[in-house]
Structure 1
Amino acid sequence: MQKIAAIDIGSNAIRMIVGRVTDLWEVELLENIRLPGPPWAGCFHNGEITGNDHSAGC
């Protein structure tokens, strides 16, 4: 079975959803994580996420 994931970095939260595609082409949810924010405001430099800020979500 193939695993798939999606990450959404929004203005008020970071979300990550992980699922597994079954033999019947259905998605089985494995993980659904939401980090409220924006504690990651200092993570973005030049349109990229850097590892320099070690606060939640970065």
Structure 2
Amino acid sequence: MTAEHPHALLGAYALDALGRADRAQFTAHLEACTLCQAELAEFRETARRFGEVERPSD
């Protein structure tokens, strides 16, 4: 992870697709970044809604 704002990693974090080191660094960042906290909540809400969508029958 670079020293720049890690916003681009948010999607991968939400999908649990980061490596151990990047995940740990992003988790630490998330504790202090309200912007990323809000976006993560939005990602999770979207994922929850996808789970509610009925699939068409074959």
TM (norm. structure 2) is 0.26
Larger relative CO (CA 8 A, sep 6+): 1 or 2? 2
Instruction: Considering fraction of residues, name the structure with more helix.
Output: 2
TM (norm. structure 1) is 0.26
